[in-house]
Structure 1
Amino acid sequence: MSPLRWVALALLSWLALMPARAVAETATVTDVAGRQVSVAVPVRRVILGEGRQIHVTAALDRDDPFGRIVGWGEDFEKSDPDTHAAYVARFPQAATLPRFGSPSRGAFDIEKAISLQPDLVVLGAEMQRPAEEVRLVERLAAVGIPVVYVDFRHAPSRNTEPSLRLLGELFGKSEVAEALIAFRAAEIARVTERLAAAGPLTRPLVMLDRIPGYSDECCLSFGNENFGAMVAAAGGVNLGSELLPGTFGTINPETIIVRDPDVVIVTGGNWEALAPNGAWVGLGPGADLGKAREKLAALMARPAFRATKAVRTGRVHAIWHQFYTSPYQFVALQRIARWLHPRLFADLDPDDTLRRLHTRFLPIAYRPGYWIDIER
């Protein structure tokens, strides 16, 4: 694009947005990257850099979840097609929204974003470095479009509440955000407070097997954040926390054999669009759990797992991978707690928790299919 065309586009975008912003209040907020950003609130036109951020924004705008969304990431349809289909069935306009590639892959179309005249672009924290490489924030700022970073993936135990609170303020939905934060905290406390009251417990060693079957690689896992933090909070010892320096990494198969985990938890989802006919465990709303169990059993025949204590004793489970990038990880925490300490949490029903979450906050109906146990 020529410099003259760029300036003209910037000026037209700024003029088009002036009437709406003239009556809006300007708030200076701090995002999870520690950046102070001035935004005209409440925002009216929003681009979600990651489509799966709808898990958050739909809770804030339950009655009209796409009313202010003018574009979103293409990842939602590819990585979580079953939930995507549920939203499109309930809100057909979602199918016509412009889609964006990820800044992490250098595929975010800045010119298209500007043409949509958003007054906010929301990016995931993992997108910050690639966004900086292409000066995405500066180029959007030049035409008056602010960017904020949120995080439900890399350090969710630290960043989920601030991210919810930030979006609640920007959307003019702070009361809803605080209600969701309180719901989340209360459900987490049902695990952490009972563990604290129980006194010393044997903490099983857990191997988190991240998206096995998506590729032939073995064995992807989690460090001391995300699912790794959930295992610790649920009263277990995450093997990856001892070995991996970051949120994600790979554990050598020989290490798994030597450490002989007490429990194996596989993450799975519907990746037919990304890895057709793969060996992955298909989980998610409405999943075929019989087929998922067959795939889980086949994965446990791999050399790294087949002789482990977890497989010998039947303590092998699978859970929906997409909990790893949504504010609803507290449901996964409850499910993991029941797997690790079945007697202590015998009365804890994560299925009911997820159903109540949908009933109270979300605009789509709950359908089971988010976890399974291996058949003994």
Structure 2
Amino acid sequence: MVRKLAIVVAALCCTALRPAAAAEITDIAGRNVEVRAPVGKVILGEGRLLYGVAALDTADPFKRVVGWRDDLIKNDPDTYATYRAKFPKGDTLPTFGGAKEGTFDVEQAISLHPDVVIMNLEAKAATEDADLDGKLAAAGIPLVYIDFREAPMKNTERSMEILGQLFGEEERAREFNRFRAAETKRVTDVLAKAAPAKPDVFIERAGGFSDDCCLSFGNENFGAMVEIAGGRNIAGTLIPGTFGTVNPEQVIAADPDQVIVTGANWQASVPGGAWVGVGPGADTAEAERKLAALMRRPAYQGVKAAGGNDVHAVWHQFYNSPYQFVAIQQIAKWLHPDLFADLDPEATFRQLHERFLPVTYRPGYFVSLAPKT
């Protein structure tokens, strides 16, 4: 034990003493960006990038962060509270609005003298329209794009590699990616061998967040997760991009076998809303009650999934994190319970926390309605 501790301390010391050197990084947007790495001061243009950062800077996920967007605080307050309890520095960091909303304060960002600004790919068009990239470049601050949201099944592995390059944690990033790939194969290998029939699935994005129905996913993000998990995403042929809307009549006509609603704690944005509050430490009984209420809307009248209670809710923030493989396991278990009777997505997520994250796992990320007999 003493020897193991000495090795860990030595490794940390070596990382801390590693001098920064010029490095060219090809980001997710295909841009070649010169950065002095490992970086010491980072602005996170998306607060939920902390999900990936924490897997690399596990001892202190805020140690490089000098500013961040306020979306994690607003859209995932339970995770933020868990991190804040252990790392109070999170409460002292300057916060930013979003580039897409036009509220990212570039002058404030420059004043913090970061070594790099990291943005999610979705912000690229808005960043360029507002010339934020040009202003940062004029101040000698590189901007790097990664992606856990627009095409996460395509870009997550490379995005973690980029974070590893920036932080001087390349091997840690490779270790995370190996774990992610191995856990995904626990689903795909079984499906490849069994070749089961694919149930029709409708994913409702952020059900109950607003009165509108029904936001969903095309062939990426949760849409791709459904396909990988052995289902057929009915919105895949209706939505040309990653995100879009399916009208209630289309849901009724498709008559899905299973419905999966994404949910989270959105009390800050929609107080007392109809959203399903799954996530760390969630009140699952309340989440089930609200999920059942959503199935009474017109879009689900006469739909076989709602009639048989083949209805589930999954943590929305899987859509914007490198943890999608956990959702894939749970969806596979919902769609093919006999094939995946021994698969335990909760145990997988707990193992992810134990191996890579600095906070303790708290269940509450998934709920299902009791089947009707």
Q: Please confirm whether the aligned pair reaches a TM-score higher than 0.5, indicating the same fold.
A: yes
User: Pick from 305, 311, 314: which aligns with 1:310?
Assistant: 305
The question of 1:263 aligning with 2:245 is answered no
**Equivalent-residue separation in structure 2 for 1:204 and 1:197 (angstroms):** 17
Q: In structure 2, the residue corresponding to 1:273 is in which secondary structure? A: coil
Q: In structure 2, the residue corresponding to 1:207 is in which secondary structure? A: strand
TM-superposed CA distance for 1:259, in Å, is: 1.1
- Alpha-carbon displacement from aligned partner over 1:139-162 (angstroms, at most 9, x marks no partner): 111111000000000101110011
User: Pick from 35, 38, 48: which aligns with 1:39?
Assistant: 35
**Equivalent-residue separation in structure 2 for 1:51 and 1:251 (angstroms):** 29
Q: In structure 1, the residue corresponding to 2:313 is in which secondary structure? A: strand
**Equivalent-residue separation in structure 2 for 1:248 and 1:364 (angstroms):** 31
User: Pick from 260, 282, 287: which aligns with 1:287?
Assistant: 282
**Equivalent-residue separation in structure 2 for 1:69 and 1:197 (angstroms):** 45
The question of 1:125 aligning with 2:125 is answered no
**Equivalent-residue separation in structure 1 for 2:301 and 2:78 (angstroms):** 31
Q: In structure 1, the residue corresponding to 2:261 is in which secondary structure? A: strand
Q: Over aligned residues, Cα RMSD in angstroms?
A: 1.2
User: Pick from 186, 194, 203: which aligns with 1:208?
Assistant: 203
Q: Which amino acid aligns with 1:353?
A: T
TM-superposed CA distance for 1:307, in Å, is: 1.5
Q: Which amino acid aligns with 2:266?
A: W
Match of 1:194 in 2: 190
**Equivalent-residue separation in structure 1 for 2:176 and 2:146 (angstroms):** 16
**Equivalent-residue separation in structure 2 for 1:257 and 1:239 (angstroms):** 11
The count of residues paired between Structure 1 and Structure 2 equals: 355
Structure 1 residues 23-34: aligned runs within 5 Å: 24-34=20-30
**Equivalent-residue separation in structure 2 for 1:316 and 1:64 (angstroms):** 38
**Equivalent-residue separation in structure 2 for 1:250 and 1:65 (angstroms):** 36
**Equivalent-residue separation in structure 1 for 2:268 and 2:307 (angstroms):** 34
The question of 1:184 aligning with 2:184 is answered no
Structure 1 length as normaliser, TM-score?
0.93
Q: Which amino acid aligns with 1:162?
A: R
Q: Which amino acid aligns with 2:161?
A: R
Match of 2:335 in 1: 340
Q: Which amino acid aligns with 1:354?
A: F
The question of 1:94 aligning with 2:124 is answered no
After the TM superposition, list the runs of 4 or more consecutive aligned residues in structure 1 that deviate by more than 6 angstroms: none
Match of 2:221 in 1: 226
Q: Which runs of 5+ in 1 are unaligned?
A: 1-22
Q: In structure 2, the residue corresponding to 1:358 is in which secondary structure? A: helix
Structure 2 length as normaliser, TM-score?
0.94
The question of 1:113 aligning with 2:109 is answered yes
Q: In structure 2, the residue corresponding to 1:104 is in which secondary structure? A: coil
TM-superposed CA distance for 1:258, in Å, is: 1.1
**Equivalent-residue separation in structure 1 for 2:61 and 2:230 (angstroms):** 36
Q: In structure 1, the residue corresponding to 2:220 is in which secondary structure? A: coil
TM-superposed CA distance for 1:306, in Å, is: 3.0
**Equivalent-residue separation in structure 1 for 2:130 and 2:152 (angstroms):** 26
TM-superposed CA distance for 1:120, in Å, is: 0.4
**Equivalent-residue separation in structure 2 for 1:351 and 1:266 (angstroms):** 18
**Equivalent-residue separation in structure 2 for 1:375 and 1:90 (angstroms):** 36
TM-superposed CA distance for 1:318, in Å, is: 0.4
Match of 2:314 in 1: 319
- Alpha-carbon displacement from aligned partner over 1:19-66 (angstroms, at most 9, x marks no partner): xxxx52100010000000000000000000011100000110001111
Q: In structure 2, the residue corresponding to 1:369 is in which secondary structure? A: coil
**Equivalent-residue separation in structure 2 for 1:236 and 1:41 (angstroms):** 42
The question of 1:275 aligning with 2:301 is answered no
Identity %: 58
Match of 1:330 in 2: 325
The question of 1:80 aligning with 2:76 is answered yes
**Equivalent-residue separation in structure 1 for 2:160 and 2:190 (angstroms):** 26
TM-superposed CA distance for 1:375, in Å, is: 2.5
**Equivalent-residue separation in structure 2 for 1:300 and 1:136 (angstroms):** 43
Q: Which runs of 5+ in 2 are unaligned?
A: 1-18
Match of 1:374 in 2: 369
- Alpha-carbon displacement from aligned partner over 1:129-178 (angstroms, at most 9, x marks no partner): 00001111111111110000000001011100110001101100001100
TM-superposed CA distance for 1:303, in Å, is: 1.2
**Equivalent-residue separation in structure 1 for 2:124 and 2:23 (angstroms):** 22
Match of 1:217 in 2: 212
Q: Which amino acid aligns with 2:187?
A: V
